[in-house]
Structure 1
Amino acid sequence: MNTPNVTAGPRVALVTGAGAGMGRATSLRLASLGYPVGCLDIDYSAAEAVTREIIEAGGTALTVTADIASKFDIEWALDQVRGKLGPVAILINNAAVEHFGRIDEIDDASWDRVIGVNLKGTFALTQAVVPGMIGQGWGRIVNLAAIGAQTGAPDMSLYTATKGAVIAMTRSLAVELGRHGITVNAVSPGFIDTPMARRAIDGDLFPVPYEQIVAGYPIPRLGRPEEVASACAFFASEDAGYVTGQLLGVNGGAAV
């Protein structure tokens, strides 16, 4: 896979949900390629650990804490990133909350929280950075979807609904923003070995053991966060300048 052209200048990346799993791996990958990275997470200590790891490796990073369901938090976080790193040119919309439950068990509080983070938060953060990208005449937006939005998943109708909406939003924004030099793409992870996935495994929230699920994949194993990070890094690169509105599955061949 091609890697970003870091000789073009230190374009600033902002990664949400940067404190763990795919967000952590993507933050580390982008930093290793020369990008200053804003590590945004609702958990300050988790994001700060990633920031320290980047700085100790010789990179540039900043910890910002925000609940992306809050527009106030988003504006505060962006002010910090712009003031200390520069305007955001690359946005990785990774932050999300999972939800398991039958449709008759989903209450209004769960609906509001999952929609608020996974869909509204992704939209609001994108909305907040787009004017700056238009001003630069260049931008990369990468949204994290989920395989369940493509295939369906039992007891995950609320979560997958938000991720399906993210896919639709990705394609519409790609059409809208392409003329401004901004690409918008989505990465759809399969069963990735993250803390979120491990919580579900440990809580016995899947209808069958996870080993049985991945055994049916063409590549019969859990994915690694670093493999998702590679896909995000490609979409963030100069080499992906003519790629927009696309959905790239990192799922071991479980969905196309």
Structure 2
Amino acid sequence: MQKNHDKPVGAAFDLSGKLVMVSGASSGIGLHLAAAMAKAGADVALCARRTERVRQEAEHLEALGGQALGVALDVTSVDSIDQAMHQVQQHFNRAPDVLINCAGVALLKPFLEQTPEELDAVLNVNLRGAFLLAQRTAAAMVEQGGGSIINVASTAGIRPGGFLSSYGASKAGLIHLSKVMAFELARYKVRVNALCPGNIETDMHKEFEDAGFTEALVKRIPQRRFGTSQDLVGAALLLASEAGSYMTGAVLTVDGGQTVNSL
């Protein structure tokens, strides 16, 4: 017999009444996960530098029911982060319950050829920007009574990959940051986890294909295929919802088995 305090399995993944804020939501993984959160019942704030794009996508999501808002956000700017947070809280009259920290850039270039400016550009978005957005969102969550932060890292932060020195370093830093945040914020009922996609077919990933790495990459994936943004939905819903309520500090890979491939 089911106990009164137990929820049906499906209900544990329900995000009705929750507000989810997604950075990097104008395309790719960020946009797909924003739509998935809306389908799970959440109100969604889509945030990115391409303001018109996220506003258009927010209109599409509102057709699913609930509320959606497109917000301008450049994670390299503290002022932009603060303005976006203020706009989201004013519009929804609450802080986010979930942050999907997904804004990111990639650089495919040999280590010896990367310039200081290119290194700064990658770290400023993928690590510094993620840090600052998570910090400000976490502070609002603490005041509200808790929440969940999902830092979208990468398997490139777990295992080395050629031509990915700055990108891999930024994602490795984000994974460790997630663990430290999880440790410090647990007492405030804020969960923090790192979601690590493998090779996911997006516009960003197309750079690998254009460089002629497709066949070699697929051979290193036990499932022998690239992933899609849809493959990340289950893991993201787990970390965002009550179904993952006892998960914090986890590093969750979704990579077709690539990180456990043999040498």
TM-score between both structures, scaled by the size of structure 1? 0.93
RMSD: 1.5
Residues 1-29 of structure 1, C-alpha deviations (whole Å, 9 max, x = no match): 9652335xx22111011111110111001
- Aligned residue pairs, count: 250
> Deviation of residue 216 (structure 1)?
3.0
Report if the CA contact (8 A) 2:127-2:170 is conserved: yes
**Aligned counterparts of 2:87 and 2:151: Cα–Cα separation in 1:** 22
Q: CA deviation at 1:119?
A: 0.5
Q: Give the aligned partner of residue 93 of structure 1.
A: 101
Within 5 Å, give how 1:28-43 maps onto structure 2. 28-43=35-50
**8 A contact 1:94–1:144 mirrored in 2:** yes
- Poorly superposed stretches of 4+, deviation over 4 Å: none
**d(CA) in 1 for partners of 2:237 and 2:102?**
13
- Distance change >3 Å, CA 214–CA 49, structure 1 → 2: farther
Within the candidate set 33, 56, 61, 2:68 is matched to 61
Matched residue type, 1:148: A
**Aligned-partner Cα distance in 2 for 1:191–1:18:** 19
Aligned-partner residue type, residue 231 of structure 2: E
Q: How does 1:1-256 map to 2 (within 5 A)?
A: 4-6=13-15, 10-85=17-92, 86-202=94-210, 204=211, 209-256=213-260
- Secondary structure of the residue aligned to 2:259 is coil
**Is contact 1:29–1:230 with CA below 8 Å preserved after alignment?**
no
| SS state at 2:246 partner | coil
**Separation of aligned partners in 1, 2:165 and 2:115:** 13
- The TM-score with structure 2 as length reference comes to 0.91
- Given that 1:13 and 1:37 are in contact with CA atoms closer than 8 Å, whether structure 2 keeps it comes out as yes
Structure number with the bigger relative contact order (C-alpha 8 A, sep ≥ 6) is 1
Structure 2 residue matching 1:143: 3-state secondary structure: strand
Asked if the contact 2:20–2:43 (Cα under 8 Å) also holds between the matched residues in 1, the reply is yes
Task: Measure, in 1, the Cα distance between the counterparts of 2:124 and 2:69.
Answer: 25
Q: Secondary structure at the match of 1:252?
A: coil
> How many Å apart are 1:209 and its aligned residue?
3.0
Asked if the contact 1:140/1:182 (under 8 Å) is kept, the reply is yes
1:188–1:249 CA contact under 8 A, matched in 2: yes
Superposed displacement of residue 64, structure 1 = 0.5
Q: 1:230 to 1:46 in 2, by over 3 A?
A: farther
